Amino acid sequence: MPVAFNELLRKQWEKQRFLCVGLDTDYAKLPEGIRADAVSDAIFEFNRLIIEATADFCCAYKPNIAFYEGYGLEGLDALIRTNRYLREHYPDIPIILDAKRADIGSTNRGYVQMVEDVFSAHAITVHPYLGREALLPFLERSHLGVIVLCHTSNPGAAEFQELTLVGGEPLYRRVAEAVCREWNTQGNCGLVLGATYPRQLAEVRQVAPDLPFLIPGVGAQGGDLEQTVKNGRDANGAGIIINASRSIIYASSGADFAEVARNEAKKLDQAIKAVMSSN
């Protein structure tokens, strides 16, 4: 039986690790020396060096599949190689495939096969729009982390996510309630909450006191770290996966990119721990 995503995550939290590095790797943005290689080799080598530099501080890695799909087969090959490398060299650090998938049930079985058998990830992000029935192929895999979009970090998130339902409840709150009370029968669910919406983050923590929160928006998007930690953590002083992508992996465009990425990851890790210990 594969090791469950949430079990790996809990072990990282026990080490006081709450930082997730997003491997949003774009060949066009790579340092010139790395970009001299073929696309697949360059992306993999960049990821490998970033991983080696930051693994001491990470509770998870989160490759966004779009950055790899954009380069076709070479990009997808780089993602497969990256996740295989993580599995072999850092087996205790879970991989979250940021794919934001969901469709009718029969199609979702293909997505489950994709995330597990092709990309070797421990968890996947999904959207809730088609409802629980459609997502059952994900939800029934007890070892697979299923991280559901709830209130995202982008400026336009409120257009639909904050729509008021009959009875006065916002849509994002209803999503959180459904995931917490109805969908999480295997104990494998989490929620995506943007750091750029601290009030909503705090509100959803009250609705879903025990679910893991994947929290993008700290770093390049400007989310406030102190508010994020205080509003997002659970009663046990854990429960958060704070993601930073561009602010770490592209902190330097020179030959020192891995060293600078390590420094940025360490700085953010220390800042998270400082907030954790202050309250």
pLDDT 10s digits, 256-269 = 999 999 999 999 99
CB 262 within 8 A of CB 53: yes
Structurally, the chain folds into a number of domains equal to 1
217 belongs to a structural domain: yes
68: left (phi over 0), alpha (psi -120 to 50) or beta: alpha
Please list, in sequence order, all residues whose beta carbon lies within 8 angstroms of the beta carbon of residue 89, skipping any fewer than 6 positions away: 51
Whole-number percent of the chain with pLDDT over 70: 99
pLDDT at 64: 98
Instruction: Confirm whether 120 is domain-assigned.
Output: yes
Inside any domain, residue 234: yes
Containing structural domain, residue 247: 5-19+94-278
CA distance linking residue 17 with residue 10, whole number of Å: 10
- Domain harbouring 127, CATH code: 3.20.20.70
- Residue 168 has, within 13 A of its CA and on its CB side, a CA count of 0
Report pTM.
0.97
Residue 258 within any structural domain of the chain: yes
Cα of 4 vs its chain's centroid, Å = 16
CA–CA separation, 200 and 188 (whole Å): 22
Helix (H, G, I), strand (E, B) or coil at 243: strand
Q: Is residue 32 part of a domain?
A: no
Give yes or no: 267 in active site.
Answer: no
Q: What is the pLDDT of residues 74-127, one digit of tens each?
A: 999 999 999 999 999 999 999 999 999 999 888 999 999 999 999 999 999 999
Give strand pairing partners of 95: 61
SS3 209: coil
102 found inside a domain: yes
Q: Which of 100, 230, 267, 273 is catalytic?
A: 100
- Chain mean pLDDT for the chain: 95
Work out the pLDDT band at 279, boundaries 50, 70, 90. low
Asked whether residue 191 is assigned to any structural domain, the reply reads yes
The DSSP bridge partners found for residue 151 are 193
Q: Is residue 118 part of a domain?
A: yes
Give the mean pLDDT of 58-64.
Answer: 98
